[in-house]
Amino acid sequence: MGGMRSRRVLHRRSRFLLLTLGLLLAACAGTTPPPAAITLNQTSAAWQKRQAALLAIVNFKLQGRLAERGLTGTRADLSWDQQSEHFDVRLSGPLGVGALLLSGTADAMTIRTKDGIAQTSDASDFMRHQLGWSLPVSQLRYWVLGLPAPDETPTLVIDDQGRTANLKQNGWQIDYAEYQTFDNLELPRKIDLADGTHSFRLVIDQWSDVRTDGA
């Protein structure tokens, strides 16, 4: 009798465990966590709305810091004033070469350093030859806002809030590590940039005078 009762108890426990396992499996099969990021070719109303808002920005100012993430680990203070197509970008103590001021547009720039003044249509080439490193200034105007530059099709990944998580463009990998809110718009705070030779981190401490073409 005791043996039969034990077998019946064991049988009921086995059925209970199987039923519980079946319910757990069914629950897992019906619950799929949302993806952390989606690619550009997927429809995203949040991205479309955000992209339109960022593209409308014509003027902005920012204050921040630029640091090389390599063996030297040197850094510079950064000031950027964008007025429509014209910009003034100042790096104070950039990577050990003193002050650097770039003024102009994507097609015609004036570069002032401790060694004098130069005119160029390609700031990246000038910086590469004169300073040993460079940043694509004309594209950076868009990247600092969290937008791809319009000159080349990017590989773009956005997060579930419609913000750029990372993008690849013109040989650069740009990762957006942190955002901050300014005037009800989320703008980048920490950006990592790498071109396979140099790696930089840009920290934007303050945004100001952000204006759109309808303002």
Same domain membership, residue 94 and residue 176: yes
Same domain membership, residue 106 and residue 16: no
Same domain membership, residue 9 and residue 91: no
Q: What is the pLDDT along the chain (215 residues), one digit of tens a residue?
A: 544 444 443 344 444 333 333 333 333 333 333 334 444 544 478 899 999 999 999 999 999 999 887 656 678 899 999 999 999 999 887 655 678 898 999 888 898 888 889 888 877 777 777 667 778 888 999 999 999 999 788 999 999 889 999 999 999 999 999 999 998 899 999 999 999 888 999 999 999 999 988 65
Structure tokens given for 52:
């339109």
Bridge partners of residue 176, in order along the sequence? 191
One-letter amino acid at 164 equals: T
CATH number reported for the structural domain that contains residue 68 in this entry:
2.50.20.10
Same domain membership, residue 43 and residue 22: no
Element housing 103 (H / E): strand 100-104
Same domain membership, residue 44 and residue 24: no
pLDDT at 18: 34
Same domain membership, residue 67 and residue 5: no
With left for phi above 0 and alpha for psi between -120 and 50, is residue 146 left, alpha or beta? left
pLDDT at 124: 74
**Is the separation of the CB atoms in 172 and 193 below 8 Å?**
yes
pLDDT at 95: 59
pLDDT at 134: 73
pLDDT at 176: 98
CA 116 to chain centre: 33
Same domain membership, residue 206 and residue 105: yes
Helix extents (H) in the chain: 2-29, 45-55, 123-131, 137-143
Same domain membership, residue 175 and residue 126: yes
Across the beta sheet with 116-120, what order do the strands follow?
A: 37-39, 155-159, 164-169, 172-182, 185-194, 199-212, 57-68, 75-83, 86-92, 100-104, 109-113, 116-120
Domain that holds residue 44: 37-212
Same domain membership, residue 87 and residue 4: no
Q: How many structural domains are present in the chain?
A: 2
Bridge partners of residue 175, in order along the sequence? 166, 192
